[in-house]
């Protein structure tokens, strides 16, 4: 992005706002001491003004406003204390959450929130959502499995599934695909149940992506990257102001790469994301965004987890010397996705007290998916340690599949909300209320394999030591050709076509009341009416099956906030969330069946005590929190049969999270996080699981990234730095009989600026070429990228 000043016309913006912008611009260009607008005693910070160089936030600089002539915005005299200058782009406390239902910045939101800022993604040359989230402790990635095959972005937060909890600008992204980061401004992870804001789901938390949208002022940027694994990538970012209050922006990406340390795995993708904004700086602002991404990749389900004879704990085969490069797919494996989303966001300042929002999105998702799932049974494991050359792996995995399928989905969501700020007697209020309506539809057409023309046979084995992607006699049939070989799902059958849909109507309300100038209470709730259906027909199921269920859910939240100054908040938060059956429509990981209709939803409760401190005039931010997350009525899926049971298990994760971010000294920035989780199954119908750790939840995890710039703005300038990503070993199943070891990855960067506009950089990843594991499941683990290098040249004007 350009470092030039925005050309936004100030119009009738108040003198205080003008002076704030000037001081912010002065810091952005000169690196002078940080400035802060003084707040009158007894009033708190409510909004953030980004640096002049950060042009991605088109919102007016004043949180509260009144209309004036020419439809412009002016700060009321009593509201000038709401202005505040960001001291450092690395200080995550001053980042906006980016959702109309959560209008405060991170500092004043009473929940643990991790932010991956734009500056950090640029320094690390982040290329995907998965890469960006490695900066957030407590997030692990799952390759997915079960009836749906899944893959794409499948994340867990604090050990709990979050594949349906990915949002862009506050609206749910229903697609199952691997998300490129070319259109990201920053990423926010809201930890813990948040159903009052987002609706059903969010047991572990929610991931919200704030995208790059049109803004006032002109800026032009492009970059080219190349390096290990035949990596080639180009991005484009073009923004142009048109007239006084309109702007257009286009971001684009082309990417081709193999994967270092993994044979035959690649990704070829491209994307484009244009946007246009009207009324910037006015009472009424409308932004229209379109997003398209095409991706042709090879799915990687990793290496099998093997139990060595005489031991009780299974480990990835690579821990026993299996080649980390081994890929166990076939020539039929492929993951081709096309994603199209159109989003319209309207903001209207009705008056200085009330702001209205309406966010609408429609999405189309098309996907062809076929992946092998390597499994090493007891015979395979025994031969691996006694006669390795004879060891054979089964690539059809659990359930005899998954079979290849064509997936076509569409979704629509509309959120209408309003924020009202007013006083009654001596009490100040901020009320947020609205309605959220969404519908998602999923249609799959399944195909099946045939071996040597024998119907009913799904044999596909290859050498564990020296796998081959070709299998003599293995044939992929056309639609319906080998219907007898379709995967047999308990309660569903051998279905050729599978269809799922769900409609959710939700209403939410919250009120934050300032009992004094330094203490406030926030209470809120959300009610949802959930109606979902699932059907399967064709193949050998005869007339087919059809199931459905309707559920009403209610999720409250209560927060207490102590804010003695504008830079400190101590809070307590209690919140609940629910996850009904059939929530994962596009993932299809829990299809409805006759045995699961009427299952009560999973229910989670969060108790959290935390503190946030904005220090050194906004230069540094510190957070600390202790929490207890309880999940009841956990649903369990049998990996070998796909059977879903309402286990009535109760799980608990309690722990501590810490973070520090910002500028330690002039030109020296850092962002660091740490999380400790005591994650345990406290009750279960399977008595042996009681007291065991929750799968995928690390006991300890931490990240740190730091850079230092020598002689900024000088011809001999140099920026260098790096960081560590560390995660304890995690259990892969509820019984704690399979485990992957700890992850420790060292990365580094060095860069140089040529003048004000050009930059060259070299990023080094996994410097010691350590064998780490990125994507996990119950009996497989995918080795992470090996040592690799990526050079980048970029220009911004």
**Proportion of the chain above pLDDT 70, given as a percent:** 81
Confidence of residue 638 (pLDDT cuts 50, 70, 90): low
* Residue 732 included in any domain: yes
By residue count, the chain amounts to 797
Please, is 508 exposed, middle or buried when counting C-beta atoms within 10 Å of its C-beta (0-12, 13-18, 19+)?
A: buried
Write the pLDDT tens digit of every residue in 523-548: 999 999 999 888 888 876 566 888 88
Write the pLDDT tens digit of every residue in 235-245: 999 999 999 99
Q: Is the peptide bond before 655 cis (omega within 30 degrees of 0)?
A: no
> What tokens does 417 get?
């909300």
**pLDDT exceeds cutoff 70 at 455:** no
Which of 6-20, 257-271, 354-368, 520-534 is the least confident region?
6-20
Residue indicated by tokens 């997003």: 291
> What tokens does 252 get?
């684009």
Q: Which residues pair with 294 in a beta bridge?
A: 270, 338
Confidence of residue 634 (pLDDT cuts 50, 70, 90): low
Residue indicated by tokens 């390096």: 227
Confidence of residue 297 (pLDDT cuts 50, 70, 90): very high
* Residue 8 included in any domain: no
Write the pLDDT tens digit of every residue in 90-146: 999 999 888 989 999 999 999 999 999 999 999 999 999 999 999 999 998 875 554
Top-confidence range, 82-91, 384-393, 580-589: 384-393
Rg (CA), the chain: 26
Residue indicated by tokens 């596909």: 460
Give the torsion sign (CA, 112, 117, 123, 124): positive
**pLDDT exceeds cutoff 60 at 408:** yes
Write the pLDDT tens digit of every residue in 474-531: 888 888 888 877 877 766 777 888 888 999 999 999 999 999 999 999 999 999 999 9
- Strand 184-191 and strand 405-424: the pairing is unpaired
pLDDT given at position 582:
64
CATH code, domain carrying 116: 2.40.170.20
**Mean pLDDT over residues 459-484, rounded?**
86
The number of distinct structural domains making up the chain is 1
Cβ atoms 178, 141 nearer than 8 A: no
pLDDT given at position 32:
36
Phi, psi of 455 (to 5 degrees): -65, 140
Confidence of residue 163 (pLDDT cuts 50, 70, 90): confident
Three-state SS letters, 737-775: CEEECCEEEEEEEEEEEECCCEEEEEEEECCCCCCCEEE
| Whole-number Å distance between alpha carbons of 448 and 488 | 11
DSSP state of 132: H
Which domain covers residue 464, as residue numbers? 15-796
Helix (H) or strand (E) holding 18: helix 15-30
pLDDT given at position 188:
96
- Give the start-end residues of each E strand in 585-665: 602-615, 620-637, 644-665
Write the pLDDT tens digit of every residue in 423-453: 998 899 999 999 999 999 999 998 888 876 6
Q: Residue 308, SS3?
A: coil
> What tokens does 567 get?
């830079």
**Mean pLDDT over residues 316-328, rounded?**
95
Helix (H) or strand (E) holding 26: helix 15-30
pLDDT given at position 791:
97
Confidence of residue 594 (pLDDT cuts 50, 70, 90): low
**pLDDT exceeds cutoff 70 at 55:** no
DSSP state of 92: G
| Whole-number Å distance between alpha carbons of 740 and 753 | 41
Please, is 189 exposed, middle or buried when counting C-beta atoms within 10 Å of its C-beta (0-12, 13-18, 19+)?
A: buried
Residue 138, C-beta contacts closer than 8 angstroms, at least 6 positions apart: 157, 158, 159, 191, 204, 657, 675, 677, 697, 698, 701
Q: Which residues pair with 761 in a beta bridge?
A: 751, 792
Write the pLDDT tens digit of every residue in 709-726: 999 989 999 999 999 999
| Whole-number Å distance between alpha carbons of 513 and 426 | 10
* Residue 2 included in any domain: no
pLDDT given at position 248:
98
Report the 10 Å Cβ neighbour count for 35. 18
Residue indicated by tokens 């286990």: 647
**Mean pLDDT over residues 159-183, rounded?**
91
Cβ atoms 607, 192 nearer than 8 A: no
**pLDDT exceeds cutoff 90 at 201:** no
Confidence of residue 11 (pLDDT cuts 50, 70, 90): very low
Cβ atoms 772, 136 nearer than 8 A: no
Cβ atoms 521, 513 nearer than 8 A: yes
Which of 557, 776, 677, 580 has its CA nearest to residue 158? 677
Looking at per-residue confidence, does 338 or 69 come out higher?
338
| Whole-number Å distance between alpha carbons of 418 and 434 | 6
Write the pLDDT tens digit of every residue in 658-685: 999 999 999 999 999 999 999 999 887 7
pLDDT given at position 273:
98
Please, is 478 exposed, middle or buried when counting C-beta atoms within 10 Å of its C-beta (0-12, 13-18, 19+)?
A: exposed
Provide the terminal-to-terminal Cα distance of the chain, rounded to the nearest Å.
7
Residue indicated by tokens 């062809």: 368
* Residue 514 included in any domain: yes
Cβ atoms 180, 204 nearer than 8 A: no
Mean of per-residue pLDDT scores for the chain = 84
| Whole-number Å distance between alpha carbons of 543 and 62 | 61
**pLDDT exceeds cutoff 90 at 576:** yes
Which of 628, 627, 685 has its CA nearest to residue 652? 628
* Residue 553 included in any domain: yes
* Residue 1 included in any domain: no
**Measuring CA to CA, how many Å separate 82 from each of 16, 22, 92?**
10, 16, 18
Predicted model pTM: 0.86
DSSP state of 688: G
Write the pLDDT tens digit of every residue in 369-405: 988 888 888 899 999 999 999 999 988 765 555 678 9
* Residue 617 included in any domain: yes
* Residue 426 included in any domain: yes
């Amino acid at each position: 992005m350009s470092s030039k000043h925005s050309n936004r016309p100030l119009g009738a913006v108040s003198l205080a706002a003008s002076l704030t912008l000037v001081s912010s611009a002065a810091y952005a260009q000169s690196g002078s001491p940080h400035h802060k607008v003084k707040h009158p005693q007894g009033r708190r910070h409510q909004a953030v003004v980004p640096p002049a160089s950060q042009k991605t936030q088109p919102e007016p600089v004043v949180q509260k406003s009144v209309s004036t002539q020419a439809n412009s915005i002016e700060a009321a005299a009593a509201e000038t204390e709401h202005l505040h200058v960001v001291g450092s782009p690395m200080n995550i406390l001053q980042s906006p959450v980016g959702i109309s239902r959560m209008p405060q910045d991170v500092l004043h939101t009473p929940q643990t929130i991790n932010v991956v800022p734009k500056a950090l993604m640029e320094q690390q040359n982040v290329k995907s959502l998965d890469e960006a989230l490695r900066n957030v402790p407590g997030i692990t990635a799952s390759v997915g499995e079960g009836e749906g095959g899944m893959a794409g972005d499948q994340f867990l937060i604090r050990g709990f599934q979050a594949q349906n909890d990915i949002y862009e600008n506050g609206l749910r992204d229903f697609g199952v695909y691997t998300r490129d980061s070319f259109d990201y401004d920053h990423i926010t992870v809201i930890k813990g149940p948040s159903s009052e804001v987002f609706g059903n789901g969010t047991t572990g938390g929610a991931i919200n992506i704030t995208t790059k949208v049109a803004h006032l002022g002109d800026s032009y940027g492009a970059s080219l990257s190349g390096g290990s694994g035949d990596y080639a990538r180009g991005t484009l970012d073009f923004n142009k102001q048109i007239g006084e209050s309109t702007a257009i922006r286009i971001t684009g990406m082309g990417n081709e790469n193999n994967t270092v340390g993994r044979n035959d795995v690649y990704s070829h993708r491209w994307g484009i994301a244009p946007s246009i904004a009207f009324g910037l700086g006015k009472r009424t602002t409308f932004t229209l965004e379109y997003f398209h991404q095409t991706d042709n990749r090879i799915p990687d389900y990793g290496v099998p987890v093997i139990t060595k004879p005489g031991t009780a704990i299974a480990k990835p085969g690579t821990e026993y010397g299996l080649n980390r490069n081994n890929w166990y797919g076939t020539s039929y494996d492929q993951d081709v996705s096309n994603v199209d989303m159109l989003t319209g966001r309207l903001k209207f300042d009705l008056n200085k007290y009330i702001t209205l929002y309406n966010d609408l999105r429609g999405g189309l998702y098309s996907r062809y998916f076929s992946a092998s799932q390597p499994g090493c049974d007891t015979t395979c494991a025994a031969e691996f340690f006694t006669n390795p050359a004879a060891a054979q792996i089964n690539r059809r995995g659990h359930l005899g599949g998954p079979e290849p399928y064509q997936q076509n989905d569409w979704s629509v969501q509309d959120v209408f909300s309003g924020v009202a700020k007013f006083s009654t007697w001596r009490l100040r209020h901020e009320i947020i209320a609205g309605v959220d309506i969404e519908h998602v539809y999923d249609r799959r057409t399944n195909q099946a394999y045939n071996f040597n023309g024998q119907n009913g046979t799904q044999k596909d084995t290859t050498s564990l030591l020296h796998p081959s992607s070709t299998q003599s006699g293995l044939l992929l049939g056309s639609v319906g050709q080998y219907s007898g070989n379709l995967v047999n799902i308990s309660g569903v059958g051998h279905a050729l076509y599978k269809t799922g849909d769900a409609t959710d109507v939700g209403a939410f309300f919250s009120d934050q009341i300032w009992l004094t100038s330094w203490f406030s209470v926030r209470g809120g709730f959300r009610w949802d009416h959930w109606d979902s259906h699932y059907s399967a027909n064709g193949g050998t199921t005869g007339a087919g099956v059809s199931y459905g269920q309707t559920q009403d859910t209610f999720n409250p939240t209560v927060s207490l906030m102590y804010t003695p100054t504008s830079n400190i908040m101590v809070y307590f938060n209690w919140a609940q969330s629910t996850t009904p059956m059939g929530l994962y429509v596009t993932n299809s990981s829990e299809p409805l069946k006759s045995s699961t209709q009427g299952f009560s939803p999973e229910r989670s409760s969060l108790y959290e005590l935390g503190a946030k401190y904005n220090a050194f005039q906004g230069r540094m931010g510190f957070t600390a929190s202790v929490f207890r997350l309880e999940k009841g009525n956990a649903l369990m899926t049998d990996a070998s049969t796909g059977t879903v049971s309402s286990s009535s298990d109760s799980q608990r994760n309690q722990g501590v999270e810490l973070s520090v971010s910002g500028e330690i000294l002039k030109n020296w920035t850092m962002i660091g996080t740490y999380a400790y989780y005591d994650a345990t199954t406290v009750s279960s119908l399977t008595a042996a699981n009681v007291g065991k750790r929750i799968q995928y939840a690390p006991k300890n995890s931490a990240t740190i990234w730091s850079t230092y710039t020598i002689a900024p703005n000088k011809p001999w300038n140099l920026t260098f730095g790096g960081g560590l990503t560390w995660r304890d070993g995690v259990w892969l199943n509820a019984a704690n009989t399979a485990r992957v070891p700890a992850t420790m990855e060292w990365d580094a960067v060095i860069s140089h600026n040529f003048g004000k506009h050009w930059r060259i950089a070299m990023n080094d990843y996994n410097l010691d070429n350590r064998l780490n594991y990125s994507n996990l499941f119950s009996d497989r683990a995918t080795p992470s990228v090996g040592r690799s290098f990526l050079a980048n040249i970029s220009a911004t004007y």
